[in-house]
Amino acid sequence: MIYRLKLTDDYPNSYWFQFKREEISITDLMDCEKIHLKNPLIFTLNKKISEKRLLSYNIYSSDGPDFISPRLATLLENNEEFVKDVQLLDAIVIINGQSHYGFKVFNILRSISCMDMDKSESTPMLDSQPDGPRIFTKKVLRQNITEDFWMARCLEDEACIVISDKLKQFCIENNIKDIVFE
């Protein structure tokens, strides 16, 4: 089976970070190509929050890409198969002026055709390009995927990140609870 990568529904709105766009943009991460950065990516949060509770999560949301905790990053970096599919880019998280290191951003290096277009619902992004990019109102993933992968972008919808049973099992075995397997 394959699943869409999704954060838990109880992820607080107050924990949405701001992404400092300098070296790359969110669209650069959709190209499925290695990225070479001179500096870590920077995420900031300037709100009165429980820093201890915030740092207990393993995956975080921002107005740019999602990013992962140092704990999850270390687990994934040590998995040789996972790092064939995903480049982990360094990130610094700044919470109320204090820097935290070891966070990573997923740069997914492969895409696979995984959307069941007969069961999904979509419309062309541009009326002038009916066969071009689509906007999905309902996403249904095919379950007959034979490719061996850990994490990939959906070819039909680049914003959709899919994960395999292998990654789901890895998360369960390592007690990663704030990722939903939909």
In this prediction, residue 48 carries a pLDDT of 83
* Residue of 163, 39, 166 whose CA lies nearest to 108: 163
Measure the CA–CA gap between 86 and 32, rounded to whole angstroms: 9
Q: What is the pTM of this model?
A: 0.88
> CB–CB of 71/51 below 8 Å?
no
Residue keyed to tokens 């109880």: 10
Using CA atoms, how far residue 170 sits from 81, 146, 175, in Å, is 12, 19, 9
In this prediction, residue 24 carries a pLDDT of 87
Share of the chain above pLDDT 70, in %: 100
In this prediction, residue 152 carries a pLDDT of 95
14 burial level (CB within 10 Å; 0-12, 13-18, 19+):
exposed
Measure the CA–CA gap between 161 and 49, rounded to whole angstroms: 29
149 burial level (CB within 10 Å; 0-12, 13-18, 19+):
buried
134 beta partners: 124
Q: How confident is the model at residue 6 (pLDDT cuts 50, 70, 90)?
A: confident
Measure the CA–CA gap between 49 and 33, rounded to whole angstroms: 36
Q: Choose the most confident range, by mean pLDDT, from 1-10, 88-97, 140-149.
A: 88-97
What are the structure tokens assigned to 132, written together?
């071009």
CA dihedral sign of residues 169, 173, 174, 175? positive
Measure the CA–CA gap between 5 and 164, rounded to whole angstroms: 10
Summary mean pLDDT of the chain: 90
